């Protein structure tokens, strides 16, 4: 599997899990698979667009914080310097 695609998918899954957990806390239960389907429909294309603009896809810290889709990043700036 292409490394950049793998990073993208892992970070999108991470973001979905975080949002699903937050929704579960709000409703005090598991929002289930329907939440994931809805997230993909409503947020998938925007996540992809933001991913393309972010520094995360080229960052060694991507596993840690890539789901935040940063265009500027102190961690990455330290690696480049």
Question: How do residues 2-15 score in pLDDT, each as one tens digit?
Answer: 888 888 898 899 99
- pTM tops 0.85: no
Reading the block at residue 4, the tokens are 């950049």
Phi (first) and psi of residue 55, to 5 degrees:
-80, -15
- How far is it, in rounded angstroms, from Cα 44 to Cα 19? 13
Q: Taking the mean position of all CA atoms in its chain, how far away is CA 27?
A: 22
pLDDT of amino acid 81: 45
pLDDT in tens, 27-81: 999 999 999 999 999 999 999 998 888 877 777 666 667 677 777 777 766 555 4
- In this structure, the number of other CB atoms found within 10 A of the CB of residue 11 comes to 22
């Amino acid at each position: 599997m292409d490394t950049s695609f793998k990073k993208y998918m892992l970070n999108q899954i991470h973001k979905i899990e975080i949002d699903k957990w937050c929704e579960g806390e709000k409703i005090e239960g598991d929002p289930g698979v329907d939440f994931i389907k809805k997230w993909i429909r409503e947020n998938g294309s925007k996540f992809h667009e933001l991913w393309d603009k972010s520094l995360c896809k080229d960052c060694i810290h991507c596993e840690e914080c890539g789901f935040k889709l940063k265009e500027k990043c102190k961690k990455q700036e330290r690696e480049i310097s």
